[in-house]
Every structure is written in structure tokens, then in C-alpha cells.
């Protein structure tokens, strides 16, 4: 009899490329590159070969920590290096299009990974997709929650029909993100910078929604001007299924109150149910995400286990998907063309908030740029 517990455990592991030594040029040396990308790449046996940052001390320190041989003071010099095959971009989203325009002209660049969000608007995201297509360069988007271990195992469960037809899915986030300094210049905050994980993961698990409804309020802790601090949004599917996320970035009113932070999720289907947690809120402590599942096929509960965690281990999977696409000449697992609909769902959330109504994904995607 098949060991479903082991199947789900194995499903969390990324499929690695046959060739691991592609020379990766790292654009940016901030936290996400230093603590996540590069740690995961070294653990997976990948080859980060060059790095740049505007801050000299930062780029030198990151290069030393991760054994990177080439250090550049501008991203243009890094992109110009003919030995660089893969670009891994970790800069603010409004800068990524500029980097892509420049990099798409370089014949030695074989693949590019962008941070999420790939852009701060659907027209800019479409322009990035166009540049990649015309240059013949596969572009991946680092939607790394797709490689959170509980999400991989849940996706495997759904694909195998363990839950039957999905009825309702929920994500409840009670956590306090660190808003990076560059976010202060954008008029939009939580959905584009944090909620986009949940916007994208519902698409990964269940496909594209038909309709989206969102509401929000400001976050009392966040001092700079913003509109969307605390957000709730709901996807509605043509077959009646709903998926809803509550993104509570308030979560803790500070001392002397006790903390109670977490991310919990739950999926109910006609033939089973799965619940779990995401371990990210306690980072840098290593707390693996969890999954518990019961269905007609399992009768009782099964609880797969793993030692890996979302931050940093998931980041090996997103880069592995791009490298496999470069090897095969196909599309990346998390490619820009697919990601356009994630940006469309984000835009639908904002349209729903702005216009105080339910918005269809179709009307957003059919808008002229």
C-alpha cells in the first residue's frame, strides 16, 4: 500500500537541474539575498558568481560570507560581465523594469529571476514579459511561498484528489512584517508587499478566481502614509468555491501585551480536510511549517514531517525551476506569463477597495495598458 505520508514529505523537495554550475549574477545584497537566496543556493550546490550593491560595505560583507568571487559597484557592470549566465534580481520592484530592459539586450544572459512583485502595475509587468519573450530569455518570478513545504504538500494532496472537490480555503495571518524603507515611496503597501504571497498561493493551489472582493484599513503601527495595512480579500470561483485571506499586520499591540503571532491555513473539500501552519513568523528561528490531513482515503489523520523551512530553504526551489527551464528551453515553473495573472489579482483587490465592489479578474486582465 502506498505510503501517503512519505509521498507528501517527498513532494516538498525541489527538482534540481542537471547542471548546477550556471554562473549566477546577484543584483542586490540586502536581507533577502544575503539571508535567503544565497544560503539556499549554496546548500543546493548552485553557483552565485558575482554580486553588486550600492553600499560598498554591504556588498563586500555579503560576498565574503557566501564566497562570491566577483563584486561590482553597479548592476550594469555585473550584467555586462560575459561570464554571467543567470541574473537573480533582488531590488525594489520599480527598479526591476530598468534592469530588465538593459539585461534583455545581452546575449550571454540565459535566464532571469525577478523578485515579487515583478512590478507595481500590470502594464509594467506586461512590459517585462514582452522584453523576455522578444529576447528569448526565460523570466521567473520569485513567488517563494509556492515552495513553502506545507504549500507543496497541500498542492500534492489536491492534485491527488485526497480532499475531493475543494469547497473553502482560508489563510489567517497574524504577523508583523518588517516594512522595508523603499516601500515608503509607494502609495500601495500590504497587498503588493506581503499579501501578494496569499494572492499568488490561492492561484497556485486552485487556479484563477472569477471574482475578487477586498476590504482594508490602515495599520496603527505603521507611521508613514498608506492605505492598505490590514487586509481581507476573498476569491470566488465559478464552481462556488471560495478562498479568503485575513492579513493582520497589527497582531500585537506592543508591551506589556503578550505576543500571539502565527499563520494558519485550512482547506475543506467534499472528501477531506487539511489544516496547517506556516513557520515564517518566528524567523530567524527555524520552525518548519506543518500539515495535518484527513480524508476518505486516509480515514484518520496523517501528519507528514520535514526539517526544511520556508526561509531560506524554499528559495532553492524557485531558482531550480528557472535553471531547469534554461536547460530544457521551456517555461520556468513560476514564469512571468503566469505571474501576470497574480499581478492582475492584486490589481483587482485594489480596484475592489477603491470602488467598494466585487471585481472580476477578467475585467482587469482585459484593460488596455
Closest to 125 in 3D by CA, of 334, 319, 330, 339: 339
Every domain range in the chain assigned CATH 3.30.360.10? 146-309+344-354
Q: Helix 122-135 vs helix 336-355: angle between axes, to the nearest 10 degrees? A: 170
Q: What does the pLDDT read at residue 156?
A: 98
Tell me the pLDDT tens digit for each residue of 171-213: 999 999 989 889 998 989 999 999 999 999 999 999 999 999 9
Tell me the pLDDT tens digit for each residue of 254-277: 878 998 999 999 999 999 999 999
Torsion angles phi and psi, residue 238, rounded to 5:
-60, -30
Write b or e for each residue in 341-364: b if 16 or more Cβ atoms lie within 10 A of its Cβ, otherwise e. Answer: bbbbbbbbbbbbbeeeeebebeeb
Q: Across the strands, what pairs with 301? A: 294
Q: What does the pLDDT read at residue 367?
A: 87
**Stretch 79-103: mean pLDDT, rounded?**
97
In angstroms, rounded to a whole number, what is the distance separating the alpha carbons of residues 169 and 265? 7
Rg for the chain, CA atoms, rounded: 20
Q: Residues 100, 132: contact at Cβ < 8 Å?
A: yes
Lowest-confidence segment of 185-189, 212-216, 310-314 by average pLDDT: 185-189
Q: Is the pLDDT of residue 1 over 50?
A: no
- DSSP-derived letter for residue 365 is H
Average pLDDT over the chain, rounded to whole? 96
pTM of the model: 0.96
**Stretch 271-285: mean pLDDT, rounded?**
96
Q: Is the pLDDT of residue 2 over 90?
A: no
Every domain range in the chain assigned CATH 3.40.50.720? 14-144+316-332
Question: Domain 146-309+344-354's class?
Answer: alpha beta
In angstroms, rounded to a whole number, what is the distance separating the alpha carbons of residues 341 and 334? 12
Of 2.10.60.10, 1.10.260.40, 3.40.50.720, 3.40.5.50, the CATH number of 14-144+316-332 is: 3.40.50.720
Closest to 12 in 3D by CA, of 155, 115, 119, 122: 155
Closest to 275 in 3D by CA, of 150, 147, 166: 150
**Stretch 85-90: mean pLDDT, rounded?**
98
Torsion angles phi and psi, residue 3, rounded to 5:
-90, 95
Amino acid at each position: 500500500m502506498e505510503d501517503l505520508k512519505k509521498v507528501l514529505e517527498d513532494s516538498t523537495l525541489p527538482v534540481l537541474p542537471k547542471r548546477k554550475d550556471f554562473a549566477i549574477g546577484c543584483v542586490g545584497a540586502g536581507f533577502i539575498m544575503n539571508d535567503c537566496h544565497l544560503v539556499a543556493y549554496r546548500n543546493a550546490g548552485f553557483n552565485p558568481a558575482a554580486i553588486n550593491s550600492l553600499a560598498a560595505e554591504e556588498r563586500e560583507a555579503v560576498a565574503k560570507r557566501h564566497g562570491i568571487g566577483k563584486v561590482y559597484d553597479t548592476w550594469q557592470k555585473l550584467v555586462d560581465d560575459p561570464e554571467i549566465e543567470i541574473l537573480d534580481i533582488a531590488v525594489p520592484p520599480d527598479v526591476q523594469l530598468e534592469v530588465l530592459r538593459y539585461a534583455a539586450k545581452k546575449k550571454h544572459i540565459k535566464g532571469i529571476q525577478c523578485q515579487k512583485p515583478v512590478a507595481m502595475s500590470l502594464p509594467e509587468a506586461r512590459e517585462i514579459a514582452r522584453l523576455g519573450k522578444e529576447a528569448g530569455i526565460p523570466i521567473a518570478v520569485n513567488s517563494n511561498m509556492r515552495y513553502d513545504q506545507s504549500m507543496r504538500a497541500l498542492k500534492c494532496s489536491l492534485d491527488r484528489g485526497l480532499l475531493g472537490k475543494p469547497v473553502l480555503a482560508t489563510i489567517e495571518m497574524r504577523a508583523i512584517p518588517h516594512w522595508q524603507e523603499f516601500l515608503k515611496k509607494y502609495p500601495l503597501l500590504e497587498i503588493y508587499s506581503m499579501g501578494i504571497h496569499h494572492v499568488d498561493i490561492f492561484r497556485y493551489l486552485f487556479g484563477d478566481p472569477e471574482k475578487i472582493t477586498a476590504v482594508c484599513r490602515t495599520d496603527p503601527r505603521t507611521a508613514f502614509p498608506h492605505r492598505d495595512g490590514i487586509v481581507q480579500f476573498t476569491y470566488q470561483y465559478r464552481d462556488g468555491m471560495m478562498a479568503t485571506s485575513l492579513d493582520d499586520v497589527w497582531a500585537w499591540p506592543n508591551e506589556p501585551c503578550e505576543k500571539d503571532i502565527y499563520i494558519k491555513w485550512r482547506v475543506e473539500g467534499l472528501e477531506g480536510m487539511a489544516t496547517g501552519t506556516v513557520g515564517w513568523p518566528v524567523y530567524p528561528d527555524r520552525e518548519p511549517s506543518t500539515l495535518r490531513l484527513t480524508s476518505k482515503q486516509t480515514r484518520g489523520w496523517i501528519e507528514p514531517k520535514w526539517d526544511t523551512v520556508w526561509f531560506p530553504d524554499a528559495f532553492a526551489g524557485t531558482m531550480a525551476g528557472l535553471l531547469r527551464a534554461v536547460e530544457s528551453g521551456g517555461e520556468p515553473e513560476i514564469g512571468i506569463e503566469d505571474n501576470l495573472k497574480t499581478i492582475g489579482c492584486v490589481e483587482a483587490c485594489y480596484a475592489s477597495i477603491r470602488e467598494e465592489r466585487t471585481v472580476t479578474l477578467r475585467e482587469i486582465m482585459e484593460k488596455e495598458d
